[in-house]
Amino acid sequence: MSVLVQQQAVECNFAENDSWIILSAIEQSIKRKIEAVGTPLKDWDIRINYGIKTGFNEAFVITTDKRNEILANCQTEDERTRTAELIRPILRGRDIKRYAYNWAGLYLIATFPSRHYDIEMYPAVKQYLLTFGIEKLEQTGKTYIVNGEKIKARKKTNNKWFEIQDSISYWEDFSKPKIVWGNLNLTPNYALVENNSFINAPSSMIVPASKYLLAILNSKIADFYIKLLGVTRNGGYFEYKPMFIEQLPIPQLKIENKELAQIERLIDNNNYTEIEYIVYNLYGLTQDEINYINSL
């Protein structure tokens, strides 16, 4: 065995039934510490779900101007109120940044099949959706509805023509504070959304949300661990799927924990650099391990 191999060799233990990865000595040490002090997110009292699939974004995701036009076409104040409640803000993955988001002024016509909406109660919305006719079908190759009838199956469901694709059971979670993130990113970009905005798939969300979870997810050490679970694509992009996020071990702090209050205060003051070192301390990293994570 060469001197180089003897100097650089690292002993790895591979459990028989577990997936495995070859890591350096310092990477193994960091990984062990993360797993020793944290509880996987999937074992927390939270829900992780994908955003909305409309099956037809061109019709169901609209601009602010189009929303205003639909509301202006309502014939009564009651119809206008019902319609305004149906049309809700939506965020795309590209709108979500680290600790923040930039809403692009887009709205979702939220006709969930599970809500059993009567389109006749929303005549201005019906009038708008009926503008997507057979002429556009020929131009785009997509499937559209004419006069309330299916030309052909717009999506692989039995939904009514005016309903979006997703028939989800967790639609109420979108009205709650949630941690959201885009699917494909170079670095972790998680944000807290406290209003009733929807997010589009394949973006994902965590409910209930907390500033503590937000800080951990946005940390460099969390990203180090999550990226051990998947493959980075060309250009350094990583697909932040729920199946990876839910495996992240996170320390469960009691409500009176001083670090918990400190993290919340630092987020409110936009002091994200100091949060990193608090998180390092929670996982018990040495200075050499901190330097290694910071060098990635």
Q: 169-205, pLDDT tens digit by residue?
A: 898 999 999 999 999 999 999 999 999 999 999 999 9
- The mean pLDDT value of the chain amounts to 88
Both 267 and 160 in one domain: the answer is no
Give the pLDDT confidence score for residue 149 in this predicted structure. 52
* 177 within some domain: no
pLDDT tier for residue 18 given thresholds of 50, 70 and 90: low
pLDDT tier for residue 156 given thresholds of 50, 70 and 90: low
Q: 23-61, pLDDT tens digit by residue?
A: 899 999 999 999 999 999 999 999 999 999 988 888 899
Give the pLDDT confidence score for residue 152 in this predicted structure. 42
Both 66 and 100 in one domain: the answer is yes
Q: Of the residues 121, 148, 171, which one is the last residue of a structural domain?
A: 171
Both 166 and 241 in one domain: the answer is no
Both 78 and 28 in one domain: the answer is no
Element (H, E) at 200: none
- Percent of residues, the chain, with pLDDT higher than 90: 71
Give the pLDDT confidence score for residue 121 in this predicted structure. 97
Predicted confidence (pLDDT) at residue 5 exceeds the cutoff of 50: no
pLDDT tier for residue 231 given thresholds of 50, 70 and 90: confident
11 CA to centre of own chain: 37
* 4 within some domain: no
Spatial CB neighbours of 18, under 8 Å, sequence gap ≥ 6: none
Give the pLDDT confidence score for residue 138 in this predicted structure. 46
Both 92 and 159 in one domain: the answer is yes
Q: Of the residues 171, 200, 221, which one is the last residue of a structural domain?
A: 171
Residue with tokens 């960091």: 30
Give the pLDDT confidence score for residue 141 in this predicted structure. 52
Give the pLDDT confidence score for residue 150 in this predicted structure. 46
- Higher per-residue confidence, 55 vs 279: 279
* 184 within some domain: no
- Whether the Cβ atoms of residue 212 and residue 218 lie closer than 8 Å to each other: no
Q: Of the residues 171, 191, 220, which one is the last residue of a structural domain?
A: 171
Give the pLDDT confidence score for residue 144 in this predicted structure. 54
C-alpha dihedral, 248 to 253 to 258 to 261, nearest 10°: 70
Task: Tell me the average pLDDT across 78-91.
Answer: 98
For the chain, the straight-line distance linking the first and the last C-alpha, in angstroms and rounded, comes to: 30
Task: Classify burial at 163, counting beta carbons within 10 Å of its beta carbon; exposed 0-12, middle 13-18, buried 19 or more.
Answer: buried
Both 231 and 164 in one domain: the answer is no
Both 18 and 58 in one domain: the answer is no
Task: Tell me the average pLDDT across 222-228.
Answer: 97
* 229 within some domain: yes
Predicted confidence (pLDDT) at residue 251 exceeds the cutoff of 90: yes
Give the pLDDT confidence score for residue 58 in this predicted structure. 86
Both 83 and 127 in one domain: the answer is yes
Both 104 and 213 in one domain: the answer is no
- Whether the Cβ atoms of residue 219 and residue 178 lie closer than 8 Å to each other: no
Distance CA 106, CA 199 (A): 11
Domain with 137 in it: 52-171
User: What b-and-e string marks burial along 137-154, b requiring 16 or more CB atoms within 10 Å of the CB?
Assistant: beeeeebbbeeeeeeeeb
Task: Tell me the average pLDDT across 270-282.
Answer: 96
Both 140 and 57 in one domain: the answer is yes
* 26 within some domain: yes
* 181 within some domain: no
Into how many domains does the chain fold? Answer: 2
pLDDT tier for residue 168 given thresholds of 50, 70 and 90: confident
C-alpha dihedral, 196 to 199 to 205 to 210, nearest 10°: -40
* 178 within some domain: no
* 129 within some domain: yes
Both 56 and 167 in one domain: the answer is yes
Both 69 and 130 in one domain: the answer is yes
